[in-house]
Amino acid sequence: MAAGTEVSPGLRAGTGRRRTPLPGTLTFMRAVVQRVAEASVTIDGQSSGRVGRGLLVLVGVEQGDGRSDAEWLAAKIAGLRIFADAEGKMNRSVTEIGAELLVVSQFTLLADTRRGNRPSFVRAAHPEEAVPLYEYLLSALETATGRPPQRGVFAADMQVALVNDGPVTIVIDTRQRD
């Protein structure tokens, strides 16, 4: 390996820019799920997606993630009981109440801040791996909820606005399935 080349713990240098997880190392998709009164994504002054009552989901894809991660994550998001029932308890899902979803890709969720003050993003999947998995997650969410999610644009400079309801914010990692 060339001098000055860094590889995060749990990763090995591959060919070119590609880094692959070491055998036995856990990889994960990470989602931050926020219950919102409304949320929107704007790119270059144009609306890309907008929802009323529902969920804003920020998603990070790590190298080595697969369709099973996306399927599990979609089912978990669709089934999260974080909306109030008739007694005011968080007991209903986005699917049950027919609320909307806005899903935004965000590789910065995979930041490694253990060393120094500049975050490292080497574990984030490169676009050729992340885009198809992000698209698959959107499809799996549509199947799970019965309605297509609104979305951001992968790798775009997005302005995300939201009115957090509660606030209720849940972090989900696919490696924590137990």
Q: Is 6 part of any domain? A: no
Tell me whether residue 145 is one of the annotated catalytic residues.
no
User: Domain range holding 67?
Assistant: 27-109+121-173
Q: Is 65 part of any domain? A: yes
Task: Give pLDDT, residue 178.
Answer: 63
Q: Is 14 part of any domain? A: no
Tell me whether residue 174 is one of the annotated catalytic residues.
no
Q: Is 17 part of any domain? A: no
Angle between helical axes of 127-145 and 67-79 (0-180°, round to 10): 40
Task: Give pLDDT, residue 177.
Answer: 73
Number of folded domains that form the chain: 1
Task: Give CA–CA dist 1/133, Å, rounded.
Answer: 30
Q: Is 83 part of any domain? A: yes
Q: Is 9 part of any domain? A: no
Set 108, 143, 159, 176: catalytic member: 108
Task: Give CA–CA dist 139/29, Å, rounded.
Answer: 16
Set 63, 95, 107, 145: catalytic member: 107
Q: Is 137 part of any domain? A: yes
**Would you say 53 and 100 are in contact if contact means Cβ atoms under 8 Å apart?**
yes
Give start and end residues of each alpha helix (H) in the chain.
67-79, 94-97, 127-145
Task: Give pLDDT, residue 28.
Answer: 79
pLDDT in tens, 95-145: 999 999 999 999 999 999 999 999 999 999 999 999 999 999 999 999 999
> Range with the lowest mean pLDDT among 13-17, 25-29, 67-71?
13-17
pLDDT bracket for residue 176 (50, 70, 90): confident
* pTM: predicted TM-score of the whole model, two decimal places: 0.83
Task: Give CA–CA dist 8/143, Å, rounded.
Answer: 36
Asked if the bond preceding 167 is cis, omega within 30° of 0, the reply is yes
Tell me whether residue 143 is one of the annotated catalytic residues.
no
Q: Is 16 part of any domain? A: no
Set 63, 106, 145, 150: catalytic member: 106
CATH number of the domain encompassing residue 34: 3.50.80.10
